[in-house]
A and B are shown apart, each in its own frame.
Chain A
Amino acid sequence: MENGELIPHLFRTEFSKMVSVLCRRFGFEHIETAEDIAGDTFLTAAQTWGLNGLPQNPTAWLYSVAKNKAKNYVQRTSIFEQKIIPELRSVSSSTDEFEIDLSPQNIIDSQLRMMFALCHPSIPAEAQIGLSLRILCGFGIEEIADAFLTNKETIQKRLFRAKEKLRENNISIELPGEFEIDRRLTAVLRTIYLLFSEGYYSVSQNRTLRKDLCFEAMRLCTMLVENEGTNKPGVNALLSLMCFHASRFGARLNKDGELVFYDDQDPSLWNSDLISKGGYYLHRATGGSEVSTYHLEAAIAYWHTQKTDAKEKWENILQLFNHLLQVEYSPIAALNRTYALSRARGKQEAIAEAEKLKLENNHLYFNLLGVLYTGVDNGKAKRNFQKSLLLAKTEADKQTIQKHLDKL
């Protein structure tokens, strides 16, 4: 890797580790300080490495510079505090012993704790995702803005308010106790899944960024699976689900970045490593008696990775959607269930069911009706695609619908 690529790469992987460790040490009151020290470390690296060339072990170099910067910071502030607020002397007297522990175990530990802290129920979901991208995944403000299709200022403000919330609510950087862990894990998993979906369905044109978002979500989930206290069936099910979805990365967008419909995808482009990984975690997820929505979604995703077009496949997908909808309704699950119904039982039956859904504000609803009517009543298909086109908001969606219209 060239010097020019190495620093951004290291920034992505190491920035978040340093911030988690430093922040755990200093507390959320000093989260900006933790970010400053980590950011400063990379600035020093860029300057020094540019002049003197790369050190033997860049990561170790970064850690030792970060440790020194942290130590200096503590010394400076303690002098300041000792002069101005003498009462604090006893608290912050031992700067000589001040050490930052950047061992692999402590990094993982700190990141896990940070995950639970950022996904605290008192933080709004939107802020949780932004904070996670920044603090846990080391994304730059600009990248986050790009992922959310907004500008830097909006993201800055959002992150600022989220950090205020962390301080106001006095959230501690700890793993929840055994009794609380399941409830808190629910919020963590939801954020991870949102992070993944943000990348998978994002309208951002930046494909590398979108993939990175998905893989970061998978990395965080892998950390939970590898940690004994959080290695629960639902966590494995979520990881399995993400592996199955991610396996189609290479097939679901064409050269021009347009979405390729599932039926038109080239199965030889599906990633078999990720498919078998998904199978492995799905197997591990079935240990307990719990059947979460992640289990059902993972099973649905599993069937989608099967190259066969046998009736059995769509029958299974249909039954899984029937089950999923009873546990948790969502418009997208309702639409997908109806599509599965058309594949398992034919279009007539699916059209009758689709007409009952009445999701009149959803462009995907009219898109589905268009797909179902295609070949059955092309006039109706056309009218539905046109309605869908009027409701679609993004350019990518409009292109997709137009493609359907052109095919008629």
Chain B
Amino acid sequence: MEEYALIMRHEDGLKVASPEQIEIWMKQTMDWIGGIAAQNKFSSGTGLLFADARVVRSNKMVTNGPFGEIKETIGGFIVVKADSIEEAAEFAKGCPVLQGEGNTVEVRRIAKK
């Protein structure tokens, strides 16, 4: 069994959702993760907050937020256990982030220590 990171990417991090909408997404995300955990395939995960974020560039310049010139931004990631990249991709299909057009979930195998 390998571990895979499912990285949730939002096409446009500037979009502001209503608190009600956020609550619905939260529940959907929890259901998605709960479904994976119920198969004993969940390892770990964390959400990343959009508020108070910084981007540090190669010239050490610091700007507010991961937005603006960066087209995509990462909303969070979870690590799952799967027998193959196909199985991991199957888990990714259930991610509620994909309801937003242009959003993606990147599936990457975790390098073994």
Contacts and interface: CB of A to CB of B under 8 A. Distances in A.
Interface in A296-342: 315, 318-319, 321-323, 325-326, 329, 333-334, 337-338, 341
Contacts of A325: 34, 37-38, 42
Interface string A355-370: 0111000000000000
Interface in A20-66: none
Q: Interface residues of A toward B: which range?
A: 10 to 19
A105 B77 CA distance: 53
A358 B40 CA distance: 11
Interface in B8-52: 27, 30-31, 33-35, 37-40, 42, 45
Q: Interface residues of B toward A: which range?
A: 10 to 19
A126 to B, nearest CB: 24
Contacts of B30: 319, 322-323
B38 A318 contact: no
Contacts of A338: 38
Nearest to A325: B37
B39 A321 contact: no
Contact of A357 (B27, B31, B39, B42): B39
Given A325-B42, A326-B42, A318 B31 contact: yes
Contacts, number: 45
Contacts of B39: 334, 356-358
Nearest to A328: B37
A353 interface: yes
Contacts of B35: 353, 356
Contacts of B40: 329, 334
A312 B89 CA distance: 32
Nearest to A333: B38
B38 A334 contact: yes
Contacts of A353: 35, 38
A334 B36 CA distance: 10
Nearest to A358: B39
A329 B37 contact: yes
Contacts of A319: 27, 30, 34
A315 B39 CA distance: 20
A357 to B, nearest CB: 6
Contacts of B42: 325-326, 329
Contacts of A333: 38
Contacts of A337: 34, 38
Nearest to B44: A326
Interface string A194-224: 0000000000000000000000000000000
Contacts of A356: 35, 38-39
A318 B32 CA distance: 12
Nearest to B27: A319
A296 B45 CA distance: 19
Contacts of B27: 315, 319
Which of B33, B34, B40 counts the most A-chain CB atoms under 10 A from its CB? B34
A325 B40 CA distance: 8
A333 B45 CA distance: 19
Contacts of A321: 34, 38
A277 B36 CA distance: 35
Nearest to A327: B37
B95 to A, nearest CB: 15
A322 B31 CA distance: 7
B33 A326 contact: yes
B38 A357 contact: yes
Nearest to A340: B34
A25 B34 CA distance: 51
A203 to B, nearest CB: 26
Contact of B34 (A315, A318, A357, A358): A318
A321 B34 CA distance: 7
Given A319-B34, A356-B38, 9 more contacts: A319-B30, A322-B37, A323-B34, A325-B37, A325-B42, A329-B38, A329-B42, A337-B38, A338-B38
Interface of A: 315, 318-319, 321-323, 325-326, 329, 333-334, 337-338, 341, 353, 356-358
27 contacts: A318-B34, A319-B27, A319-B30, A321-B38, A322-B31, A322-B34, A322-B37, A323-B30, A323-B34, A325-B34, A325-B37, A325-B42, A326-B33, A326-B37, A326-B45, A329-B37, A329-B40, A333-B38, A334-B38, A334-B39, A337-B34, A337-B38, A338-B38, A353-B35, A353-B38, A356-B38, A358-B39
Minimum-distance CB pairs A-B, first 4: A322-B34, A325-B37, A334-B38, A329-B40
